[in-house]
Amino acid sequence: MYTPEQLERRNQSPWTRVQFILAPIQFLVFLVSFGLVVNYLWTEQGYLAATISVWIKIALIWALTITGMLWEKDVYGHYFMAKEFFWEDFGNLIAILTHNAYFVAQWFHASPRVVMTVMLFAYITYLFNAAQFIVKGIRSSRERRAMLNQSATS
């Protein structure tokens, strides 16, 4: 997952902490927004609340993308699509494009139902991408523990 040098750069990067703070906040906002979007699609009530939550979620996905690119530059020397993070970056690209389809739907004066359906689809892409990051984080944690155990026994 990380070479020892990359792990050191990861640990030294200020963007690592930013990512650890923003990611769970984004996930909590996602849960609330997802509920509001589904509620609107189900009842056609609460469009304003769903819309505000969508704006916050889109702002957070952009904040995480930008700070993630800075983190990736610190750790891997590339702002985006480093080979070690290719699939996570690709998934993020799909998620951010689908999130921004919200603005396209608004631009074309789509009905509120269509706009919220677009966001439901965007949120599904976010879930797939979030799952990738969780799996990668678990693997990374296991790898770090194995490296520590190996260092302790040497």
The pLDDT confidence band at residue 136, using thresholds 50, 70 and 90, is: confident
Residue 91's nearest CA partner among 33, 132, 138 is 132
Report the phi/psi class of residue 150: left, alpha or beta, with left for phi > 0 and alpha for psi in -120 to 50.
alpha
Q: Check if the beta carbon of residue 79 is closer than 8 Å to that of residue 73.
A: yes
The pLDDT confidence band at residue 24, using thresholds 50, 70 and 90, is: very high
61: containing domain: 4-153
What is the total count of domains within the chain? 1
Residue 65's nearest CA partner among 48, 45, 90 is 90
89/95 Cα distance (integer angstroms): 10
What is the value of pTM for the model shown?
0.84
More reliable by pLDDT, 136 or 135: 135
Model confidence pLDDT, tens digit, residues 60-110 = 999 999 999 999 999 999 999 888 888 888 999 999 999 999 999 999 999
